[in-house]
Amino acid sequence: MSDRGKGGKVKGKAKSCSNKTGLQFSVGRIHGLLRKENYAERVGAGAPVYLAAVMEYLTAEVLKLTGLRRS
């Protein structure tokens, strides 16, 4: 007999990709938009994370220039 499926660790609450990376922009939403709008045949897992990081950085820079910094 095998022991598969008996017991195991209790998993905690699921974490979103944005929470894992520490980003404010929704990585899941960006990933969905990249797939939906057919920008490429396939979209890798790292592409929306990178795009969200770039968008967040640019937004922070624009806010810094306008003087509306986040505290």
Question: Going residue by residue through the chain (71 aa), what tens digit of pLDDT does each one get?
Answer: 566 667 777 788 888 877 778 888 999 999 999 999 888 889 999 999 999 999 999 999 999 999 876 65
**Model pTM greater than 0.75?**
no
Q: What is the pLDDT of residue 67?
A: 87
Q: How far apart are CA 33 and CA 39, in angstroms?
A: 9
Residue pair 43/35 in contact (Cβ under 8 Å)? The answer is yes
Q: How far apart are CA 32 and CA 6, in angstroms?
A: 35
**Angstrom distances, CA of residue 70 to CA of 20, 31, 33, 65:** 21, 26, 27, 12
Amino acid at 42: R
Q: What is the pLDDT of residue 22?
A: 85
Domains annotated for the chain, with CATH where assigned, are 21-66 (1.10.20.10)
Q: How far apart are CA 31 and CA 19, in angstroms?
A: 15
